[in-house]
Amino acid sequence: MSAQTQIAPAPIAPTVGRPRRSRRRRLTRTAWNLVGILVLVVLAFPVFWMISTAFKPDDQINSLTPTWFSLHPTLAHFGDAVHRPFFWDDVKNSLIIVGVTVALSMALAFLAAVALAKFRFTGQKLFIVLMIGIQMLPQAGLIIPLFVVLRRYGQVNTLTGVIFTYMTFVLPFSVWTLRGFLLGIPRELEEAAMVDGSSRLGAFVKILLPLVAPGLVATSIFAFITSWNEYIFARILLNDGAKQTATVWLSYFTGTSRHTDWGGLMAGSTLIAIPVIVFFLLVQRKIAFGLTAGAVKA
List pLDDT tens digits, range 38-70: 999 999 899 898 989 889 888 888 888 888 887
Whole-number Å distance between alpha carbons of 261 and 253: 6
pLDDT bucket at 94, cuts 50 / 70 / 90: very high
pLDDT grade for 11, boundaries at 50, 70 and 90: low
Which residue type, as a one-letter code, is found at position 139?
Q
Q: Is the pLDDT of residue 158 over 60?
A: yes
pLDDT for the residue numbered 295: 37
- Beta-carbon contacts of 209 under 8 Å, excluding residues fewer than 6 positions away, are 294
Enter the DSSP assignment of 204: I
Residue boundaries of the structural domains of the chain: 20-61, 81-297
33-69 burial, b at 16+ Cβ within 10 Å, e below that, comes to: eeeeeeeeeeeeeeeeeeebbbbbbeebbeeeeeeee
Report the C-alpha gap between 17 and 78 in whole angstroms. Answer: 61
Backbone angles phi, psi at 276, to 5 degrees: -65, -40
What residue type is assigned to position 244 of the chain?
Q
Residue 294 near residue 210 (C-beta atoms within 8 A): yes
In sequence order, the 6+-apart residues with CB closer than 8 A to the CB of 102 are: 170, 220, 223, 224, 227
Q: How many CB atoms lie within 10 A of CB 225?
A: 14
The one-character DSSP state at 69 is S
pLDDT of amino acid 97? 93
Percentage with pLDDT > 70 across the chain: 87
On the question of pLDDT at 290 being above 60, the answer is: no
- Confidence at 99, pLDDT banded by 50, 70, 90: very high
Taking only the tens place, the pLDDT of each residue in 258-267 is 677 888 888 8
Q: Which of 35-44, 128-137, 234-243 has the lowest mean pLDDT?
A: 128-137
**Residues listed for the chain:** 298
Which residue would you say has higher pLDDT here, 296 or 121?
A: 121
More confident residue, 8 or 211: 211
Q: What is 246-293 written as a DSSP string?
A: HHHHHGGG--STTT--HHHHHHHHHHHHHHHHHHHHHHHHHHHHHHHH
Answer left, alpha or beta for residue 94, where phi above 0 means left and psi between -120 and 50 means alpha: alpha
Which tops the pLDDT comparison, 190 or 294? 190
**Percent of all residues in the chain with a pLDDT value above 90, rounded to a whole number:** 11
State the average pLDDT over residues 216-222. 85
Which is more confident, 11 or 71? 71
**pLDDT value at position 12?**
53
Give the predicted TM-score (pTM) of the model: 0.77
3-state secondary structure of 75: coil
> What is the pLDDT at residue 294?
38
Number of Cβ within a 10 Å radius of residue 105? 26
User: How far is the CA of 27 from the CAs of 35, 37, 38, 39, in angstroms?
Assistant: 12, 15, 16, 18
E strand map for 74-177: none
Average pLDDT for 109-132: 82
Rounded to an integer, the average pLDDT of 71-92 is 87
Question: How far, CA to CA in Å, does 192 sit from each of 186, 197, 202, 206?
Answer: 10, 9, 12, 12
For the segment(s) 81-297, the CATH number from 1.20.1560.10, 3.40.50.300, 1.10.3720.10, 1.10.260.40 is 1.10.3720.10
Radius of gyration of the chain (CA): 28
Q: Does residue 72 surpass a pLDDT of 50?
A: yes
Instruction: Tell me the average pLDDT of the chain.
Output: 81
Per-residue pLDDT, averaged over 159-167, amounts to 91
Type of residue numbered 253: F
Distance between CA atoms of 37 and 45, rounded to whole angstroms? 12
Q: Is 244 exposed, middle or buried (0-12, 13-18, 19+ CB in 10 A)?
A: buried
Q: Which pLDDT value is given to residue 33?
A: 93
Instruction: Give helix 262-297 / helix 87-118 axis angle, nearest 10°.
Output: 30
